[in-house]
Amino acid sequence: MKLHTLSVSAIAASIKKGEITAEAVMTAHLDRISKYDGNINAFITVSEKAIEEAREVDSARKSGKTLGRLAGVPVAVKDMLCTEGIKTTAASKILANFIPPYSATVVERLKKEGAIVIGKANCDEFAMGSSNETSAFGNVKNPWNTKYVPGGSSGGSAAAVSGQMAAAAIGTDTGGSIRQPANFCGIVGIKPTYGRVSRFGIVAFASSLDQAGPMAKNVKDCALVLESISGFDEKDSTSAQNQVPNWSEKTSSNVKGLKIGLPKEYFSGKMDADVKARVEETIAKLKSAGAIIVDIELPSTPHCIGVYYLVCASEASSNLARYDGIRYGYRYGEGSERLSLEELYSETRGRGFGSEVKRRIMIGTYALSSGYYDAYYLKACQVRRMIREEFSEAFSKCDVILSPVTTSPAFKIGERIEDPLTMYLNDIFTTSANLAGVPGMSVPVGFSKEGLPIGVQLMGRHFDEQTLFNVGQCIEENVKTSRELPDVIQ
C-alpha cells in the first residue's frame, strides 16, 4: 500500500482501526518531500515536530482515547497562517525569521481534530500573485510539468497535494488563490463563504476578501477538512455564527432537477480550446445526470478585475503599514544610529518587500489618498455592491453557477511575470466570488493536449457549500479525468 496516495478519510479511518500507524503515514509523506521538493519547492518550512506528533496520535489510539476526524492526516498549511513555534514568513523577506507565539484558529482546529501540520507551504509574497513566482523563497513548480506554474497564490499548497507530499492543504483565497492553483494542479479546492472560516491568525492581505479553505484530492476530503476548520470564532469579528453542517456525510451526487446557471459573460470572451471543450463536456454530463441548464447574466463581470484590484490594493496598503521594522520582522541597518526614523521605514520597507507587493501598496495608497478616494476606492465599493446584488438575482434563477476557472491551463514559468496586466487578467473568472462573498470551488474535469490539468468553477449561494459539494461529487463520478495524481514527478 502506497500510503502517500491515500485520501484524508482513508488515512483517518485506517489509523483509527489500527490498520496503519500515523507515524508510517507521516514518514511516507516526509519521504516524498525529501525526494521531490528540492525540485518542486512547495514548502518553505518542513515541521521538525511532525513525526513526534504522529507518534502521539498512535499512543492516543493505543490507550483507547477518542481520535478526531483528521487523526494522523498530514496537512500542509500555507505560510500565511500563524503556527506557534514554526516560522511564518508570508513568503516575504520582511518576515523571513518570524516565529509566532500563537497559532491561527484554523491551525488550532486542525490540531483539535488530530491533523498534523507537516510543513508551511510556499506562496506568492503576502498572497499577492497568480503564479507563485513572487515568493522571496523562490517559485513553486507544477508537479504535472515542472516547466509550468502551479498557480497562485496558494501554489505551494496545491503542489504539495498534487505531488502527494501532503494528504490535504490549507490555502487562502482573496481573488481566486485556492481555486486557480487547484485548477492548475488537478485537485479540488474550495473558498467557503466569507465568514465561514475564522481569519484570526492569518496574515492579512485584503481583510474584506481573504478567506481560508481546504485543498485535497477529492470532493469529500475537502468537505471533511472544511467541517473541521469552520465555525464561529469570537476572536474574528467577521466570523459568522451559522451552524456548520456535516457536509461530508450529506454529500450526494444526485443533481436531478438542480438548476445550473451559465453566465453568458464568462463564455463570451477568448478561451483556450481545451478549456472550452472540457467545460462543455462537463455541462453535458451534468445535463445527462438530470441537472437543468439555464442561461443567466452577470452584467458587471467586465468590471470585476478593476474593482477587485482597487479594493484589495487599498486594503493591502492599510494592512501592510504595520511592517515598519520597529516591532517585529526584518529591519534594515539594525544597530546603526545614522538612520533617521523616516530612513529606517523607507529602507526597511523598500528592501523587505518584493516588487509586486510594493506595486500593490502604491496603487492602494494612491486610491486612498485625499482627492482620489471618492473617484477610486469609494466608486469600487459601490460597484462591488452591484456585483453582490447581481449574484443574488442570478441565484433566484439557479442553484449553482458553473464557469471555467481560468481562460487557459497553466502557463510556463516566466511567461507572464513581467506583464502585470496579463497576470491580473488571469483572475477574471474568480474575483467575483470574493467580491460577492459567495463560496466557490474548483473541480478537475480533464487535461489539455499538453497533459496539463483543467477544472471547472462552481459558485453557490451564501453558506450553501453543500450544493457545491453535491455538484462536485457528481462531476467527480461522471467526468473521468483519465489520469491519477503524479506518483513520480519529472
Largest CA-CA distance found in the chain, in angstroms, rounded: 73
Predicted local confidence at residue 335, as pLDDT: 61
Q: Which of 9, 47, 78, 285 is catalytic?
A: 78
153 assigned to active site: yes
- Tell me the β-bridge partners of 453: 447
CB count within 10 Å of CB 116 equals 27
Percent of the chain's residues with pLDDT above 70: 99
Residue 153 confidence class, pLDDT cut points 50, 70, 90: very high
Distances (CA, A) of 462 to 122, 433, 436, 456: 30, 10, 9, 19
Cell, residue 473: 461529487
Burial class (CB in 10 A: 0-12, 13-18, 19+), 295: exposed
310, 382 Cβ separation under 8 angstroms: no
Q: Which of 14, 135, 153, 162 is catalytic?
A: 153
Percent of the chain's residues with pLDDT above 90: 90
412, 147 Cβ separation under 8 angstroms: yes
pLDDT in tens, 60-77: 999 999 999 999 999 999
Predicted local confidence at residue 24, as pLDDT: 98
Cell, residue 157: 499548497
301, 265 Cβ separation under 8 angstroms: yes
Cα–Cα–Cα angle for 480, 483, 487, nearest 5°? 145
Predicted local confidence at residue 336, as pLDDT: 56
The single-letter DSSP state of residue 124 is: S
Predicted local confidence at residue 337, as pLDDT: 65
When computed from its CA atoms, the radius of gyration of the chain, rounded to whole angstroms, is: 21
Nearest alpha-carbon partner for 432 in 476, 470, 395, 479: 395
pLDDT in tens, 317-347: 999 999 998 888 899 886 656 788 888 999 9
First to last CA, the chain: 22
pLDDT in tens, 259-304: 999 999 999 888 999 999 999 999 999 999 999 999 999 999 999 9
pLDDT exceeds 80 at position 53: yes
| Pairwise CA distance, residues 177 & 191, whole Å | 9
288 assigned to active site: no
155, 169 Cβ separation under 8 angstroms: no
Distances (CA, A) of 310 to 94, 210, 270, 375, 460: 24, 15, 24, 11, 25
Q: Tell me the one-letter amino acid at 258.
A: L
Conformational region of residue 76, where left means phi above 0, alpha means psi within -120 to 50, and beta covers everything else: beta
Cell, residue 27: 514518514
pLDDT in tens, 195-211: 999 999 999 999 999 99
| Pairwise CA distance, residues 293 & 108, whole Å | 41
211 by DSSP, 3-state: which?
A: strand
Predicted local confidence at residue 480, as pLDDT: 81
| Pairwise CA distance, residues 378 & 128, whole Å | 22
Distances (CA, A) of 193 to 112, 389, 458: 22, 16, 13
| Pairwise CA distance, residues 146 & 14, whole Å | 33
pLDDT exceeds 60 at position 115: yes
pLDDT in tens, 170-187: 999 999 999 999 999 999
Domains of the chain: 3-254 (3.90.1300.10)
CB-hemisphere CA count at 13 Å for 33?
28
Residue 442, C-beta contacts closer than 8 angstroms, at least 6 positions apart? 178, 179, 180, 182, 183, 188, 189, 190, 405, 455, 456, 457, 458
Predicted local confidence at residue 490, as pLDDT: 61
Q: Which of 177, 300, 314, 432 is catalytic?
A: 177
Residue 41 confidence class, pLDDT cut points 50, 70, 90: very high
Distances (CA, A) of 93 to 79, 316, 357, 362: 13, 17, 11, 19
pLDDT exceeds 90 at position 489: no
155, 123 Cβ separation under 8 angstroms: yes
Predicted local confidence at residue 340, as pLDDT: 87
pLDDT in tens, 213-256: 999 999 999 999 999 999 999 999 999 999 999 999 999 999 99
Cell, residue 90: 508570508
pLDDT exceeds 90 at position 190: yes
Tell me what the pLDDT averaged over the chain comes to. 96
Distances (CA, A) of 319 to 25, 33, 264, 314, 407: 39, 33, 36, 9, 31
Predicted local confidence at residue 473, as pLDDT: 98
Q: What is this structure's pTM?
A: 0.96
Conformational region of residue 49, where left means phi above 0, alpha means psi within -120 to 50, and beta covers everything else: alpha
Cell, residue 230: 469552520
| Pairwise CA distance, residues 289 & 268, whole Å | 26
| Pairwise CA distance, residues 21 & 248, whole Å | 23
